Amino acid sequence: MGQRISKLNDDIALDHDLLKGPRHLTFDEKRILANRVMKKHGVGGVTLHWVNAISWFLLIFTGTALLSASYLQFAPDWYINMMDGIFGTRSAMLHFHIAVGVFWVTTLLLYGIFGYKNYLLDFIKHDLTIDKDDINWFPAKAKNLAGKLSHYQMPAQGTYNAGQKAYAVVVAFSTVTLVITGPIMAFHIGSTTIIQWAMMLHFVATMSVFAGVFVHVYMAALFPEERPAFFSMITGKVNELYAYLHHYKWWKEIKNEEHMFFAEELKKDGIHLPELEQCKNIKDHQAHVYNIEEK
């Protein structure tokens, strides 16, 4: 067996040890994990995120400037006047708001219809499904931020942590509300009573997302520990150290799949790794790895 294959066998042996459960890492282990990358988002997911972000940005900036009645007003007068000045007339701004909204809804529908398996179901499975670890995560995160709990002692998290999931739930409900109420107002669907309720729900949905966006942006772009998440929204990749510490359950899932893939590919080349030898399918692999723990 060549040197490189032997190195792969060592890597897999380390994986198998770490798959037993989250634990304190040695410096050498940290160094190894920090130099490996894992794919977190596909091109479609990254594109959707930024189309969504840019659309929200444009819609919030024009939407708040459209509300000039004092009892609904959100933005200060100077801001509304400035936006009127940029767009020339307020009706031009309304048409822009509707056009961006239509573009946004169309994009979401394209992903929802053609990508329902890869994006919609995936989003529901990874972002909206909550388990016990997610509920325990909130008090643990508070302790962690206070410096009283280290990462490997936190409840293991999936693709997204409970905080991200909570915001995803708000965003999902708001998105559905906006997709329904927006066209009601833009295309005058239904009686005036329906339009009046749609208007109120439109504001509620928007402001629910807006209230969380500061935390979302801060956590992703500015907070040092979560910064790999921000770059993963550009490159689609995260380093394994981050994945292991912050998203252990997801890391485990990917590792299991990766090992199966290795086993099959190596078999084609006629190479047998002692560490992968006993695995014939993914269940087999998991049984093999987790049995080590039981023994």
Partner 1 sequence: MSKYAMVIDMDRCVACHACEVACRSHYDVPVPYYRNWVHDLRPEGVYPDIKKVSYVGLCNHCDDAPCVKACPTGATYERKDGVVVVDKDLCIGCGLCIEACPYGARYINPVIEKVDKCDFCIDRVEQGVEPACVATCIASARIFGDMDDPDSKVSQLIANGAQPNVSEKVNVGPNIYYLDSHGNFPVVQAAFPPKLPHMPTPQKMWTKVLRPLFWLAIGGTFLGQLVAFSTQLFKGESDIKE
Which residues form the interface with partner 1 (CB under 8 A)? 24-25, 30, 34, 66-72, 74, 89-91, 94-95, 150-152, 185-186, 188, 191-193, 195-197, 199-201, 203-204, 207-208, 210-215, 217-218, 222-225, 227, 241-242, 245
Q: Give least dist CB 128 to partner 1, A.
A: 21
Rank residues 150 and 278 by Cβ distance to partner 1 and give the closer one: 150
Q: Which is nearer to partner 1, 3 or 193 (CB)?
A: 193
CB of 79 to partner 1, least distance (A): 14
CB atoms within 10 A of CB 88: 9
Q: From residue 288, how far is each of 29, 125, 279, 280 by CA, in Å? A: 22, 26, 7, 10
Give me the least distance between CB of 215 and partner 1, in Å please. 5
CA 270 to chain centre: 39
- In the complex, the smallest distance separating the C-beta of residue 202 from partner 1, rounded to whole angstroms, is 10
**Whose Cβ is closer to partner 1: residue 138's or residue 218's?**
218
CB 152 within 8 A of CB 140: no
Which is closer to partner 1, CB of 210 or CB of 282?
A: 210
Q: How far is the CB of 90 from partner 1 (least distance, A)?
A: 6
Choice between 45 and 63, CB closer to partner 1: 63
- Residue-wise DSSP of 200-211: HHHHHHHHHHHH
CB of 279 to partner 1, least distance (A): 31
Question: Residue 116 half-sphere exposure, CB side, CA atoms within 13 Å?
Answer: 4
Distances (CA, A) of 94 to 72, 87, 91: 16, 10, 5
Tell me how far, at minimum, the Cβ of 198 lies from partner 1, in Å.
Answer: 9
> Would you say 76 or 274 has its CB closer to partner 1?
76
**How far from 163 is each of 43, 55, 89, 141, CA to CA, in Å?**
24, 23, 41, 9
Residue of 251, 252, 241, 243 lying closest to 34 (CA atoms): 241
CA torsion through residues 267, 270, 272, 273, sign: negative
Q: Which amino acid is at 182?
A: G
SS3 37: strand
Q: Quick one: tokens of 14?
A: 């380390």
CB of 32 to partner 1, least distance (A): 14
Instruction: Return the structure tokens found at 73.
Output: 């007003």
**104 vs 242, beta carbon nearer partner 1:** 242
Nearer to partner 1, 176 or 222 (CB): 222
Q: Which amino acid, one-letter code, is at 214? A: F
